[in-house]
């Protein structure tokens, strides 16, 4: 059977009402955008395929036109089931305006559910999501009023409450690799990450659907070494060759990112966060690093911690770092390229990485914080009425032994001077982040107390800790007065016992860094 196809002939076979799973991660990693562009073009020209269901685990797109933005047209999409949405403002707009149905689940849940679908098992049974917005008692992941179907339910096993995410049929998987041979065997060997390509292919094939793969090059049969094959040809129905396929939105292919090459990297290989308030938060958070610990860094504010650790003698090289995309150690990249690294020690499927986190494999994680409330709950998934999505946040935060949340005390318009003597609040932010009740629960303080997790909340003004009695204020920055600078801007009263000053060394200039005049 000849599996070689053009993009146009491939997308012409996709039927109205189909469920499509697509691979990808922010920054263009493993994103089959050449095929997605052809699919979008067909819809815009013909009005078909329409009423699609889109499934993806991680955020995909460029905040403009690529990735999941290709599906964000009225009539093209009926529903979306996904873990992250910020890379597609168009999709967020469709959801907010009630034009499509939408469910938001943890990224690892979606990946694992696809594996369970492929294996013919009765959905995914797990503790991940209990107490959060995906728990049926808190909304079941439904993301607007139009979304009414129950895709997750509470069940009891051995006297314990669990969640069962229900299976569904996958009609098509649209994936990407580096190489394919003429039998359809797929290698991702020069890609930045593997993600969940195999589980998506398995779910589509064993649902009676089809698997389409975009690759950079097609090789003769036998040219790919067996251990480099990530998707066996038996699962693959169609292959499209696209020679101009980039590894990421940076363009080209960097083999230090895919793991084939290593290059000498100095401590300056990870950029130092420049914003003084964010740098202060990262410096304080870096004090929580522990030599030898299995350590995870999340997207956003925590991205500044590795650069701090490298420069300040924190035991960076003794840590074992990992991110949800399956990358272990190396010089982690940030922002749009979060999820890949140069000189990594290992790159495994993100599905396997999520299993590691779900089972408690992370000793400590550093995560962002959109809102925090008096129960110790944290929200990063739904902010100001906008659906952001948790990505891998829930699997990691719910199961790490220690959780360090990092975020500014308030938002929008805050002006703060960071000096050697401490902080000076010039102007408070317009949006409080320490609220009476978070908009949605992405991290459950009650569940954390039940599990005995250690939880810190680090801001530039103060550090808080989750205790059995509630949220306690444990540290304040020099120059900060609790009655003047903290309590008036919080919507709840924290426990206050004997708070101490943050270490004054955190406010000294960093070697090699000069503050702007």
Q: Are 411 and 433 in contact (CB under 8 A)?
A: yes
pLDDT tens digits, 184-207: 999 999 999 999 999 999 999 999
Q: What pLDDT is stored for residue 337 in this prediction?
A: 87
Q: What pLDDT is stored for residue 294 in this prediction?
A: 96
Q: What pLDDT is stored for residue 111 in this prediction?
A: 98
Q: Does domain 7-241 have CATH number 3.20.20.210?
A: no
Tokens describing residue 371: 């809102």
pLDDT of 255 > 70? The answer is yes
Average pLDDT over residues 28-32: 97
Q: What pLDDT is stored for residue 149 in this prediction?
A: 98
pLDDT of 517 > 50? The answer is no
Q: What amino acid positions are annotated as catalytic residues?
A: 324
Instruction: Say if pTM beats, i.e. exceeds, 0.85.
Output: yes
pLDDT tens digits, 393-422: 999 999 999 999 999 999 999 999 999 999
Which candidate, 231, 171, 186, 193, places its Cα nearest to that of 17?
171
pLDDT of 74 > 50? The answer is yes
Q: What pLDDT is stored for residue 314 in this prediction?
A: 72
Which candidate, 376, 393, 395, places its Cα nearest to that of 454?
376
Which candidate, 47, 69, 53, 65, places its Cα nearest to that of 20?
53
Q: What pLDDT is stored for residue 494 in this prediction?
A: 97
Same fold, 7-241 and 267-506: yes
Q: Which helix (H) or strand (E) holds 115?
A: helix 107-118
Q: How far is C-alpha 282 from the geometric centre of its chain's CA atoms? A: 19
**Cβ neighbours for 183, distance < 8 A, ≥ 6 positions apart:** 3, 221, 233
Matching residue, tokens 């012409």: 12
pLDDT tens digits, 39-56: 999 999 999 999 999 999
Confidence of residue 512 (pLDDT cuts 50, 70, 90): low
Average pLDDT over residues 19-35: 97
pLDDT of 360 > 90? The answer is yes
Q: What pLDDT is stored for residue 194 in this prediction?
A: 97
Confidence of residue 332 (pLDDT cuts 50, 70, 90): confident
pLDDT tens digits, 292-302: 999 999 888 88
pLDDT tens digits, 75-87: 999 999 999 999 9
Q: Cα dihedral sign for 251, 257, 263, 269?
A: positive
Percent above pLDDT 90 for the chain: 88
Confidence of residue 238 (pLDDT cuts 50, 70, 90): very high
Topology (CATH) of 267-506: Glutaconate Coenzyme A-transferase (3.40.1080)
- The residue ranges of every structural domain in the chain are 7-241, 267-506
Tokens describing residue 427: 């102007």
Confidence of residue 516 (pLDDT cuts 50, 70, 90): very low
């Amino acid at each position: 059977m000849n599996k070689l196809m053009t993009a146009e002939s491939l997308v012409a076979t996709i039927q109205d009402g189909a469920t499509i799973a697509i691979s990808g991660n922010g920054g263009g990693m493993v994103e089959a955008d050449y095929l997605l562009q052809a699919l979008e073009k067909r819809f815009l020209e013909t009005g078909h395929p329409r009423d699609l269901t889109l499934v993806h685990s991680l955020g995909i797109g460029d905040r403009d036109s690529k990735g999941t933005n290709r599906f964000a047209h009225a009539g093209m999409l009926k529903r979306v089931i996904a873990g992250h949405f910020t890379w597609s403002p168009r999709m967020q707009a469709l959801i907010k305006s009630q034009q499509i149905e939408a469910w938001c689940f943890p990224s690892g849940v979606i990946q694992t559910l696809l594996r369970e679908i492929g294996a013919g098992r009765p959905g995914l049974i797990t503790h991940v999501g209990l107490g959060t917005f995906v728990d049926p008692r808190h909304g079941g992941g439904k993301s607007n009023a139009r979304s009414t179907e129950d895709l997750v339910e509470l069940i009891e096993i051995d006297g314990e409450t669990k969640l069962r995410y229900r299976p569904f049929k996958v009609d098509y998987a649209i994936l990407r690799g580096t190489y394919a041979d003429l039998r359809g065997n797929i290698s991702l060997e020069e890609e930045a990450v593997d993600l969940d390509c195999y589980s998506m292919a398995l779910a589509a094939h064993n649902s009676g659907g089809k698997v389409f793969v975009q690759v950079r090059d097609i090789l003769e049969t036998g040219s790919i070494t067996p251990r480099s094959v990530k998707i066996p040809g038996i699962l693959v129905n169609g292959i499209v060759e696209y020679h101009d396929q980039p590894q990421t939105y940076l363009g080209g292919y960097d083999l230090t990112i895919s793991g084939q090459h290593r290059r000498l990297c100095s401590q300056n290989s990870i950029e130092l966060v420049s914003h003084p308030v964010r740098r202060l938060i990262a410096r304080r958070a870096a004090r929580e690093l522990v030599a030898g610990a299995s350590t995870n860094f999340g997207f956003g504010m925590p991205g500044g911690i590795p650069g701090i650790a490298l420069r300040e003698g924190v035991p960076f090289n003794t840590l074992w770092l990992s991110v949800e995309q399956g990358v272990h150690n190396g010089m982690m990249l940030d922002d749009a390229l979060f999820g890949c690294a140069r000189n990594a020690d290992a790159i495994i499927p993100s599905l396997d990485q999520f299993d590691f986190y779900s089972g408690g494999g992370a000793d400590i994680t550093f995560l962002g914080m959109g809102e925090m409330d008096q129960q110790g709950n944290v929200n990063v998934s739904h902010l100001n009425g906008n659906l952001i999505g948790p990505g891998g946040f829930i699997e990691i935060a719910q199961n790490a032994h220690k959780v360090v949340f990092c975020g500014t005390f308030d938002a929008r318009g805050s002006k703060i001077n960071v000096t050697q003597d401490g902080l000076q609040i010039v102007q408070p932010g317009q949006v409080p982040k320490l609220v009476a009740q978070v908009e949605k629960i992405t991290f459950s303080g009650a569940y954390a107390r039940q599990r005995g997790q250690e939880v810190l909340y680090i801001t530039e003004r103060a550090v808080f800790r989750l205790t059995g009695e509630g949220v306690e204020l444990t540290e304040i920055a020099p120059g900060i007065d609790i009655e003047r600078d903290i309590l008036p801007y919080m919507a709840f009263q924290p426990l206050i016992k004997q708070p101490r000053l943050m270490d004054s060394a955190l406010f000294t200039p960093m070697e090699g860094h000069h503050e702007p005049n």
